[in-house]
C-alpha cells in the first residue's frame, strides 16, 4: 500500500495555478500584439497585452531582486509543504495558490525581457484590464497570489484561540 502524498491539495492547487497562468500568458502573447487590446465588455473589461517590469502596480520597476524573490518564495513554500506538518485544506489551498502565482511570475522574470527607458529589464506578461474601475493591468498569477492570501487569512481567523477576556456563547 502506498502512502498518500502529504498536503496533496497544495501540490494540485500549485500545479493547476501555474499551468493556467502560463497557458493564458502564452495565448495572449501568441494572439495579441504588445499594447493591443481586445474588448470583452467594452469600457468594462478588456484583454490588453502589456509587459510589466515591476511588481504589483509597477512598483520596484527594473529591480533584479524581484526574480530572486519569486524563486526564494517558491523554494520556501515547497519546503514548507514537503518538510512541514500536514496543513488543513484552506492552508493548502492558500499556500498552493501563492506558489502557483510566484512560480508563474517568476518564470516570466527569468525568461521575458523588455526595454524601458533604454534599459533591458525583466518583465511579467499582464493582460487582465478592468477599465470600469481604472485598475492596473494584471495576470492570473496575481489573482492566484491574492486568492492564496485570502485563503490564509480565513484559515487564520478560523483558528484564533479565544482571548482570556472573551466570553463563551
Active site residues: 126, 142
Instruction: Name the residue with cell 495555478.
Output: 17
By three-state DSSP, how is residue 80 classified?
A: helix
Burial class (CB in 10 A: 0-12, 13-18, 19+), 148: buried
d(CA 167, CA 83): 37
**Strand residue runs (E) in the chain:** 37-41, 45-52, 113-116, 119-122, 124-130
What are the cell numbers at 165?
477576556
Helices 140-158 and 8-31, packing angle to 10 deg: 160
Residue with cell 511588481: 55
Amino acid at each position: 500500500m502506498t502512502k498518500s502524498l502529504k498536503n496533496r491539495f497544495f501540490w494540485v492547487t500549485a500545479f493547476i495555478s501555474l499551468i493556467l497562468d502560463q497557458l493564458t500568458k502564452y495565448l495572449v502573447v501568441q494572439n495579441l500584439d504588445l499594447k493591443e487590446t481586445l474588448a470583452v465588455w467594452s469600457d468594462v473589461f478588456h484583454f490588453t497585452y502589456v509587459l510589466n517590469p515591476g511588481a504589483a502596480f509597477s512598483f520596484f520597476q527594473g529591480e533584479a531582486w524581484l526574480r530572486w524573490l519569486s524563486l526564494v518564495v517558491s523554494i520556501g513554500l515547497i519546503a514548507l509543504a514537503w518538510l512541514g506538518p500536514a496543513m488543513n485544506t484552506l492552508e493548502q489551498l492558500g499556500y498552493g495558490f501563492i506558489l502557483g502565482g510566484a512560480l508563474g511570475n517568476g518564470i516570466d522574470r527569468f525568461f521575458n525581457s523588455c526595454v524601458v527607458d533604454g534599459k533591458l529589464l525583466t518583465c511579467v506578461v499582464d493582460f487582465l484590464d478592468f477599465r470600469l474601475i481604472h485598475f492596473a493591468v494584471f495576470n492570473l498569477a496575481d489573482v492566484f497570489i491574492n486568492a492564496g492570501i485570502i485563503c490564509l487569512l480565513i484559515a487564520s481567523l478560523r483558528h484564533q484561540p479565544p482571548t482570556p477576556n472573551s466570553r463563551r456563547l
